[in-house]
Amino acid sequence: MLEDQIADITFSIESAKTQVGEQYTVKQMEKTKKSLKAKLEKLNDQTRKDDVVTFEQLGVDRLFVDESHYYKNRAKRCA
């Protein structure tokens, strides 16, 4: 998902550069791209991973969340 977002931002940056856009917009998109790449690197960092049972190994078919409205837009608030 992060790789798709990075690709979308890269495309937007290139199209903003070809058009007569504001420099602020390009700089803001570059900053967003850099932060997404940092998140991706942090998630892919294998040095701090524990040797525990993964979610797939648990054999769980479904996961139900009660009070799901508390989780809405959670990624935006945690960033």
What pLDDT does residue 71 have? Answer: 73
In this prediction, residue 67 carries a pLDDT of: 80
- pLDDT for position 21: 58
Nearest to 8 by CA among 29, 28, 38: 29
Two tokens, residue 33? 């791209």
pLDDT for residue 17: 75
What averages of pLDDT result for each successive group of 10 residues across the chain (79 residues)?
Answer: 84 77 75 89 77 82 80 64
**Amino acid 78: pLDDT:** 57
Alpha-carbon separation of residue 13 from 22, 36, 39, 75 (angstroms): 11, 14, 19, 23
